[in-house]
Amino acid sequence: MITMTKVQAKTPQKLKTQSRSQASDERTAWIMAAPAFLGLLLFIAAPFIIAIFFAFTNYRLGSPLPLDFVAFQQFVRIFSDEAFQQALVNNSLFALFIVPLQCAIALGLALLINRPLKGMVLFRTLFFMPVIFPMALVAIVWELIYAPGANGILNAFLSTVTLGYWQPLDFLHHPDLALPAIMILSLWQGVGFQMIIMLAGLQSIPQTFYEAAAIDGANRWQQLIHITLPQMKNTIIFVALVTSILAFRLFDQIWILTQGGPNRATTTIIFETVRAVFKRQDVARGSAMSVVFFLVVLAVTLLQRRISRQEREIR
């Protein structure tokens, strides 16, 4: 009885100590997170709120006209603009091809290098190396690869392979080949990033699953279908989501290599936004495009989250 009384007497004091400790941890966590929240507020949230405001005005740099509220007039203008319409189509096509293709290649590379063999560290480094290169440098290198005439590396290679029957093409200035050329460049430069994420997902799968499947007589293909892919579902969804956002942010390659041409074959939403603000000084138009870009990315994100939630409910 004496022991129980002592324990009961000490319990409130312990609870108070624990609550103080939790409160102290929460304060420490908020203090540590404050710089990140401040950065998000100053450099992401605040500029986006300002962009929403300008999207409903007629604000133009250097214009003598007063700032007026024009409601949805800017959005009507951009959606009736053929250049912006083509930018939406190009971004959609780019994402439609790049997202599944890049995810599939990244998964294949991750499966390839997820083996305890000599030299795998070197191969992982080589596959990831294009990611750390600046896009400006990558674009210049690929401009040399796509160069027209016999001096172009790709044209020279194809001419050699076909024994001289290949007719040199100007890939970056061909209406039908410019966007696929940008896709190949982006695929090569970015697949290493997705590969690392896929590799981390593969290494988190318990080896006991594969050992049990091997004992039951499952071959490599059956293990891939029934173990690897189901266990990698969340990782694949995350990679697809990130790749989709990056696909709609396509800009650097376009600005350096094609300037949206030829005949708007490679123009994108971000390219049209930058051109509207910095070349035409039309801040309101560029702000409206930025809002549309945000809504498109948000819609893609919500759609992928909904699909993943439905798959979880089915299973």
Average pLDDT score over residue span 131-157: 88
pLDDT digits (tens, 9 = 90+) for 203-247: 888 889 888 988 888 888 898 898 898 899 888 988 998 898 889
3-state secondary structure (DSSP) of residue 64: coil
Buried b (16+ CB within 10 A) or exposed e, 23-51: eeeeeeeeeeeeeeeeeeeeeeeeeeeeb
pLDDT digits (tens, 9 = 90+) for 157-201: 998 898 888 888 889 999 999 999 999 999 999 899 999 999 999
Q: What is the pTM of this model?
A: 0.83
pLDDT digits (tens, 9 = 90+) for 74-117: 999 999 999 999 999 999 999 999 999 999 999 999 998 887 77
pLDDT of residue 172: 92
Phi-psi region of 205 (alpha: psi -120 to 50; beta: other; left: phi over 0): beta
Is-cis flag, bond preceding 262, omega within 30?
yes
* Tokens 């266990």 -> residue: 231
Element (H, E) at 28: helix 2-40
pLDDT of residue 15: 59
Give residue limits of the domains in the chain.
77-314
pLDDT-based confidence at residue 311 (cuts at 50, 70, 90): low
Task: Work out the percent of the chain whose per-residue pLDDT is above 90.
Answer: 38
Nearest to 288 by CA among 44, 29, 33, 59: 59
CATH number listed for the domain at residues 77-314: 1.10.3720.10
User: How much of the chain is in helix, strand and coil states, percent to nearest 5?
Assistant: 75, 0, 25
Phi and psi angles of residue 83, each rounded to the nearest 5 degrees, phi first: -65, -45
